[in-house]
A and B are shown apart, each in its own frame.
Chain A
């Protein structure tokens, strides 16, 4: 019998019991003067209050960033940040970008080929030649 390490009692798996949205904060940066922020300013005036009310679990910060293109930055629970430049976009397009940031997991984008990933032990166990009944050839 090989030496076995002490097993962890539980592993945190979001969503199995309680669910916590991964996006914790959204930063909106805009410029009052520049034309590329026109859609962003309209978004902040007319669309953002409703979005903030719908998503009380997300902290929302709005701050000017003069002489720069408008940017939305999402902060995630895993510590990563996702930034989207929204220059020259209409308010409706910015709403789509906000929902993208909200629904994202914060992980780096990866190409995944297998749909199911599991940390559980195999339910059926590993096949052993020394167990089970003898099957004649």
Chain B
């Protein structure tokens, strides 16, 4: 293993999930307080730990930060903990550090410095060209998500700015960028009625369908700089 920044660790995903070409659930919450703290996930977690360690009665639970507070703690601390209790995703289990060629490390600063960025993210192997602030209506209903959840898209084929682009072969390594989207809700299409007829028959069959779709909003598209990659650990491959 290698060292990673705290934010990356809080948002990163396990390798089993990475191998699947889809998204990983970051946080399961629907209340505004929790979702507002989503982008500062690690901070809220740190605050939660601080609230737990400060009262002397809950010092026993400081070793295990996710246990519910004991009955001796005050009601105010217990309410803050229930509201801030979030599902933290499993940390990533990368077997090998990121491999980057010297030419990539030379040219990556040009791309990282030139904002805004675009990204061709793949969800279920379908490409979505997104920039920060875009809204995406997925052509399917995503299971297991609620409005307010934050997802991290970890599969991309192209990463680019106005003048530079980084193409993956076939995918860009997920440790080179960060792309997060927010689940906004569920949308439906208007009722579709298809009329089916048979020959020489007056009967008309009307088949109806009304599909539901998940709405997303792109929160962040960021290309990591070389210094950040070096902090997290990168293997420089000579060409």
- Is there contact, CB below 8 Å, between B190 and A110? yes
Q: Which residue of A lies closest to B213 (CB)?
A: A112
Check: A135 CB closer than 8 A to any chain B CB.
Answer: no
Distance A54 CA – B134 CA, assembled complex (angstroms)? 29
- Is there contact, CB below 8 Å, between B132 and A115? no
Given the interface pairs A13-B133, A116-B128, A123-B118, the reply to whether A105 lies near B184 with Cβ below 8 Å is yes
Chain B 128-150 interface 0/1 with A at a Cβ cutoff of 8 Å (1 = within): 11111111111100000011100
Query: Which of chain A's residues have a CB closer than 8 A to the CB of B134?
Result: 116-118, 120
- Chain A contact residues: helix, strand, loop or mixed: loop
Stretch at the interface among B1-9, B28-36, B193-201: B28-36
Query: Which residue, B139, B147, B219, has most C-beta atoms of chain A within 10 A?
Result: B147
User: How far, in Å, is B213 (CB) from chain A's closest CB?
Assistant: 8
User: How far, in Å, is A86 (CB) from chain B's closest CB?
Assistant: 17
Given the interface pairs A118-B133, A118-B134, the reply to whether A15 lies near B184 with Cβ below 8 Å is yes
Given the interface pairs A16-B132, A111-B189, A111-B190, the reply to whether A124 lies near B32 with Cβ below 8 Å is no
Interface size class of chain A, counting residues whose CB lies under 8 Å from the partner chain: 20 to 34
- Is there contact, CB below 8 Å, between B219 and A16? yes
User: How far, in Å, is B169 (CB) from chain A's closest CB?
Assistant: 21
Interface size class of chain B, counting residues whose CB lies under 8 Å from the partner chain: 35 or more
Check: A17 CB closer than 8 A to any chain B CB.
Answer: yes
Check: A133 CB closer than 8 A to any chain B CB.
Answer: no
Distance A94 CA – B118 CA, assembled complex (angstroms)? 42
Check: A79 CB closer than 8 A to any chain B CB.
Answer: no
- Is there contact, CB below 8 Å, between A115 and B136? yes
- Is there contact, CB below 8 Å, between A103 and B186? yes
Check: A55 CB closer than 8 A to any chain B CB.
Answer: yes
Distance A26 CA – B217 CA, assembled complex (angstroms)? 24
Q: Identify which of residues 1-26 in chain A touch chain B, using a CB-to-CB cut-off of 8 Å.
A: 13-22
Q: Identify which of residues 153-171 in chain B touch chain A, using a CB-to-CB cut-off of 8 Å.
A: 160-162
- Is there contact, CB below 8 Å, between B190 and A109? yes
Chain A 98-114 interface 0/1 with B at a Cβ cutoff of 8 Å (1 = within): 00101111010111100
Check: B215 CB closer than 8 A to any chain A CB.
Answer: yes
Check: B62 CB closer than 8 A to any chain A CB.
Answer: no
Q: Which of B38, B116, B137, B189 contacts A19 (CB 8 A)?
A: B38
Query: Which of chain B's residues have a CB closer than 8 A to the CB of A20?
Result: 32
Check: B15 CB closer than 8 A to any chain A CB.
Answer: no
Query: Which of chain B's residues have a CB closer than 8 A to the CB of A109?
Result: 187-190
Check: B84 CB closer than 8 A to any chain A CB.
Answer: no
Check: B25 CB closer than 8 A to any chain A CB.
Answer: no
Query: Which residue, B30, B136, B148, has most C-beta atoms of chain A within 10 A?
Result: B30
Chain B 172-203 interface 0/1 with A at a Cβ cutoff of 8 Å (1 = within): 00000000001011111110000000000000
Supply 10 A–B pairs (Cβ within 8 Å), ascending by A.
Answer: A21-B30, A21-B32, A21-B185, A102-B147, A105-B187, A115-B138, A117-B135, A118-B133, A120-B133, A123-B118
